[in-house]
């Protein structure tokens, strides 16, 4: 995303992360992302169930 003027394949980036940070480097940010997405999914599911119940 920060490279200007050239394209770098994702495999090269993934191997670079693995080499420099180890396997856990691929999952950095997963916990904050989970706590951001999980409530949205719960609200979506609840809204769906409410709409389904209203249609019936």
- Chain segment 2-50, per-residue pLDDT in tens: 667 788 899 999 999 999 999 999 999 999 999 999 999 999 999 999 9
Residue 23, Cβ density class (10 Å: 0-12 exposed, 13-18 middle, ≥19 buried): exposed
Q: What is the pLDDT at residue 3?
A: 63
Q: What is the pLDDT at residue 7?
A: 83
Q: What is the pLDDT at residue 42?
A: 96
d(CA 55, CA 15): 50
Q: Contact at 8 Å (CB) between 45 and 38?
A: no
d(CA 50, CA 42): 12
Q: What is the pLDDT at residue 1?
A: 60
Residue 12's closest CA among 3, 30, 27? 3
């Amino acid at each position: 995303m920060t490279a200007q003027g050239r394209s770098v394949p994702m495999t090269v980036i993934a191997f670079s992360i693995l080499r420099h940070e180890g396997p856990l480097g691929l999952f950095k940010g997963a916990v904050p992302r989970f706590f951001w997405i999980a409530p949205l999914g719960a609200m979506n599911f609840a809204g769906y169930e409410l709409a389904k119940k209203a249609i019936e």
